[in-house]
């Protein structure tokens, strides 16, 4: 039985075909493509029409290989959205969450509504690019297209709509907006009213595994395709990645590692209390009626931006060559909080790391290797603090950490994470989001009875690399210094780095 999974990240997308047979799950990459934002003037957009084109290309390539998937699903990043007119037409290219027009709106809203009030209604962490603040910024700038808008769709909802003509909001991505109320089980009408946005734009929220239409007749006729069902999977890519965590125990911690790092655990109910608010944790929807208690960590974005900068400056370097330089750079020389707001916008990250080090009285990185080492060490140390907070909030103690996503190909980061947390790290699978996407499709078809049967199949189908902690005394000393430098835990109502 084959299914097609589209997994769209902030830098690239992929179409992966999955086969489920007696040997387990087998996957084959069909199509990989760039996902680069487009800057027009001062505004940064997603090239959503190009993404739709690449989705269609994936279907064509699948057909050329003689495959007819029984269903397909799309997952992507959260918070960003498109607006449709009353005629069902897209009103402009969606904005990128890093667009500067949204800067400062979270602080404005928090002067009008308390963080406690918003958190009690949504359970979502405070990030300056959450959909709540994006919409508020557009409304207060009198963005003209808002007058024509009749329907709100998140990015995977929108791409699914292009394929099917059916406008449906999916649960896991809806919860990332900070506009969904998990206690009431629907969009929060009070918050929408406060920012002046019509609740009529927002449709019924469906759970992962819901069939949300089939390929439009126009697409089938143009490309000679079958009426393939389109499933609303766990459409937030982290929700799909968590489905793919090959855990055997019901109590487990995960780290979905890529442009962003997202660490947390899976629970039956959200944890909405003063402590989770103070630590700026989030309670996003998961597959199977679960919630993902987790925290966003800036992730490999900082390193990716450094590499882009070096490329622009004519000093480009391969990932392998950079990691070789990292290993010879002095350890723990330059530590910083990856979640400091200094590192959120695109730009000259090496200069910002030096700026942070000057501010905290540390040695400034002098070359590419020492800058990259500072990033990877700081991430690994941040992971320990977030893992400890996750244990505290969930009332659990984890025997180790499951790492999934493309970031696990950085073996140095996996080993340093094990060193930092003092527990084993189990790394794999790398294509976690795509595999979780497939798993939800197979659950929807009845091929798996539930998420745990799917995880058992994933565990037996994909290699898992185990990293045991090393150099404990060195990493413990570095962690104590990291905590002093970064002044955590956060002492503000909405947490640090937001």
Which 3 state secondary structure label does DSSP give 486?
Answer: helix
Rg value, the chain, Cα: 22
237 given a catalytic annotation: yes
Q: Which residues of 212-247 are buried (b: 16+ CB within 10 A; e: fewer)?
A: bbbbbeebeeeeebeebbbbbbbbbbbbbbbbbbbb
Pairing outcome for strands 169-170 and 205-206: parallel
Burial class (CB in 10 A: 0-12, 13-18, 19+), 475: buried
Catalytic entry in 7, 99, 157, 237? 237
Strand partners, 4: 17, 72
Pairwise CA distance, residues 258 & 61, whole Å: 26
What contacts 283, CB < 8 A, 6 or more positions away?
Answer: 123, 124, 175, 182, 270, 271, 272, 276, 291, 292, 293
What contacts 484, CB < 8 A, 6 or more positions away?
Answer: none
Which 3 state secondary structure label does DSSP give 151?
Answer: strand
Distance (Å) of CA 173 to CA 40, 157, 265, 289, 291: 27, 9, 17, 13, 12
Other CB atoms closer than 10 Å to residue 155's CB: what's the count?
Answer: 24
The answer to whether residues 48 and 74 touch, using CB atoms and an 8 Å cutoff, is no
Task: Single out the residue of 336, 359, 283 nearest to residue 488, CA to CA.
Answer: 336
Distance (Å) of CA 23 to CA 20, 26, 28, 466: 8, 8, 15, 23
Annotated catalytic residues are 237
């Amino acid at each position: 039985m084959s299914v097609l999974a589209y997994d769209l990240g902030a830098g690239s997308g992929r179409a992966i075909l999955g086969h489920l047979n007696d040997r387990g799950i087998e996957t084959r990459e069909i199509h990989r493509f760039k996902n680069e934002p487009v800057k027009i003037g001062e505004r940064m957009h997603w090239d959503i029409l190009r993404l739709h084109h690449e989705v269609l290309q994936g279907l064509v390539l699948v057909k050329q290989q003689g495959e007819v998937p029984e269903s397909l699903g799309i997952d992507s990043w959260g918070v960003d959205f498109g607006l449709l007119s009353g005629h069902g037409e897209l009103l402009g290219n969606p904005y990128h969450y890093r667009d500067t027009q949204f800067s400062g709106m979270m602080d404005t809203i928090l002067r009008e509504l308390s963080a406690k009030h918003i958190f009690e209604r949504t359970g979502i962490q405070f990030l300056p690019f959450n959909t709540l603040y994006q919409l508020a910024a557009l409304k207060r700038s009198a963005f003209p297209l808002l007058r024509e808008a009749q329907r709100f769709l998140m990015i995977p909802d929108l791409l699914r709509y292009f394929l099917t003509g059916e406008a449906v909001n999916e649960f896991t991505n809806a919860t990332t907006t900070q506009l969904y109320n998990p206690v009431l089980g629907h969009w929060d009408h009070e918050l929408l009213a406060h920012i002046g946005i019509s609740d009529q734009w927002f449709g019924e929220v469906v759970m992962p595994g819901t069939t949300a239409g089939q390929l439009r007749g126009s697409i089938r006729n143009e490309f000679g395709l079958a009426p393939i069902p389109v499933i609303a999977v766990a459409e937030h890519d982290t929700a799909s990645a968590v489905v793919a965590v090959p855990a055997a125990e019901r109590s487990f911690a995960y780290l979905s590692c890529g442009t962003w790092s997202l660490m947390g655990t899976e629970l039956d109910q959200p944890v909405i209390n003063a402590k989770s608010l103070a630590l700026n944790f989030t309670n996003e929807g998961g597959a199977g009626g679960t919630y993902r208690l987790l925290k966003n960590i800036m992730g490999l974005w900082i390193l990716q931006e450094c590499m882009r900068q070096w490329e622009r400056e004519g000093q480009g370097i391969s990932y392998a060559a950079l990691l070789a330089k990292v290993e010879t750079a002095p350890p723990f020389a330059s530590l910083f909080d990856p979640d400091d707001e200094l590192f959120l916008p695109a730009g000259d990250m090496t200069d910002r790391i030096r700026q942070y080090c000057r501010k905290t009285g540390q040695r400034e990185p002098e070359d590419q290797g020492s800058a990259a080492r500072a990033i990877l060490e700081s991430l690994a140390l941040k992971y320990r603090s977030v893992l400890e907070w996750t244990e505290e909030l969930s009332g659990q103690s984890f025997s180790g950490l499951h790492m999934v996503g493309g970031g696990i190909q950085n073996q140095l980061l996996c080993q340093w994470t094990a060193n930092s947390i003092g527990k084993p790290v189990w790394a794999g699978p790398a294509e976690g989001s795509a595999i979780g996407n497939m798993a939800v499709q197979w659950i929807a078809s009845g091929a798996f009875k539930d998420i745990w049967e799917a995880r058992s199949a994933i565990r037996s189908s994909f290699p898992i690399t185990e990293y045991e902690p090393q150099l404990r005394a060195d990493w413990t000393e570095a962690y104590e210094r990291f905590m002093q430098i970064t002044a955590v835990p956060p002492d503000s109502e909405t947490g640090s780095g937001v």
